A and B are shown apart, each in its own frame.
Chain A
């Protein structure tokens, strides 16, 4: 009964396809838009408390749009300064240029660079992960309620696998954001970067000029601990 067998086979194939579709569609539908195509981000920025101070009247609630923009900028900074540098040996200069104000970007030519960027580390041989402790935001609002300055207290950890084992970078301190042509950019910082791991390939300890502060030149210190 060849005809019967062909018919049975078609029915079975359609049934299996239908079952698979029935199972997979709800799962795909439950995922965030684009999640089915984009891989999970290697940078995870966890939001924390958000406080705001104002010079007049009752402090407004911390604007959601400002919070989202600053957190996104932090993620972008960590990706450009740490992830890309770890994967390619050099930071994402183009990406950084869009994240820092002009005066802050100018400081990248100083000794602060070693603290701000993870350059010179062993090349990553596997997936690099960056996570943060909850980021606390503190904003300053003008008399009209517009936020003009946001400080982000960060505690970020980068883990990159290398041929000699994992290298860990712990970056802690403050990133100061200000609005700049419609986006929030880093205009200042007070950061400490501590690297641990074998064969770091960088100067064990470097410190930016003590007290080199300013809008974009807050003291940046780098502590690199080499474990052999």
Chain B
């Protein structure tokens, strides 16, 4: 039923939001179809031209979910929230590695600087090189569109475990359960000053938490294959795709919604002090990457 008053909903966490897959974030929409000229909330790009999910539906693959700090569509924004999700369709599992924005890229400089200088492909190339993987899909959203998406799905449930007060990000939460709207969730995922010791690292973990929470919301709101079809029809009106067909979007969305969020492992990339304000990839990350690369799932971490 399309009631002109009802609104679409969609979500996506901070960084991108989505979950196990590229379109994941995508699956944050609900409600009725938007008008034909609906706003574009996020971009999904097939960064590996050879990736053909339909032909290899059980093959593990990787997705980059990137939240950029752009305030307008004209501003590509720094890749301030970078999360690589590994999906193993054969087992129905997914794992996620959260990469702090200041992490030093293999080719030098901070990882977040590659998005505004080469877009998703340039960013993906650095992550592939860092982790020894081959990312198939990447998606990104900016501040205003992130807020729109979260509001469209009616908010995301988040458990705050310690006080978060940061005037810069707008975070002002005491421990407890929150149904966060777009502005609140953005503040939650941007807050680093509430963590004197962990700082950006804890923020990065929170972003991963928001992605998983968004998936939980979308699953609850869109049960079954019919729910995925409805969600796909809505999201397709708000996504700019590059190399991705409607059918492939549906397939990936169906896969994403089939993954149990409670089973998604969310692991922070271990880092140490690097040059200047950069963070270097810690030696123990080598084993983490190997665990991730073999089947897209973290078994030992």
A215 pairs with B258, CB closer than 8 A: no
Give the total of B residues in contact with A, Cβ under 8 Å.
33
Interface flag for B259 (CB, 8 Å): yes
Contact residues of B between 80 and 94, Cβ < 8 Å to A: 89-93
A55 proximity list for chain B (CB < 8 A): 33, 232-233, 236-237, 246
B246 to chain A: closest CB distance in Å?
A: 5
Sample of 13 more A-B contacts, CB < 8 Å, known A53-B230, A216-B57: A55-B233, A140-B233, A140-B250, A151-B226, A174-B226, A190-B224, A209-B92, A211-B91, A211-B93, A211-B258, A213-B259, A214-B251, A219-B92
Q: Does B55 count as interface, using CB distance less than 8 angstroms?
A: yes
Contacts of B230 in A (CB 8 A): 53, 138
Footprint of B on A, CB under 8 Å? 51, 53-57, 59, 103, 136, 138-142, 148-149, 151, 153, 174, 176, 178, 188, 190, 209-219
B259 cross-chain contacts in A, Cβ below 8 A:
211, 213
B89 CB contacts on chain A under 8 angstroms: 212-214, 217
Interface residue? B254 (CB, 8 A): yes
Q: Tell me whether A174 and B225 are in contact in the complex, defined as CB-CB below 8 angstroms, given that A53-B33, A54-B33, A148-B246 are known contacts.
A: yes
15 contacts between A and B (CB under 8 A): A53-B233, A54-B33, A103-B56, A140-B246, A142-B246, A148-B247, A149-B229, A151-B224, A190-B224, A213-B92, A213-B254, A213-B259, A214-B255, A215-B57, A218-B258
Contact residues in A for B49 (Cβ distance below 8 Å): none
> Whole-angstrom distance from the CB of B233 to the nearest CB of chain A?
4
Given A140-B229, A190-B224, the answer on whether A149 and B247 have CB atoms closer than 8 Å is yes
B157 close to A (CB within 8 Å): no
Inter-chain CA distance A136–B229, complex, in Å, is 13
Whole-angstrom CA separation of A138 from B226 in the bound complex: 6
Contact, CB under 8 Å: A57 / B226: no
Distance from A121 Cβ to chain B, minimum over Cβ atoms (Å): 27
For B59, the closest partner residue in chain A by CB is A214
Instruction: Tell whether, in the assembled complex, residue B250 and residue A213 are in contact, meaning their CB atoms are under 8 Å apart.
Output: no
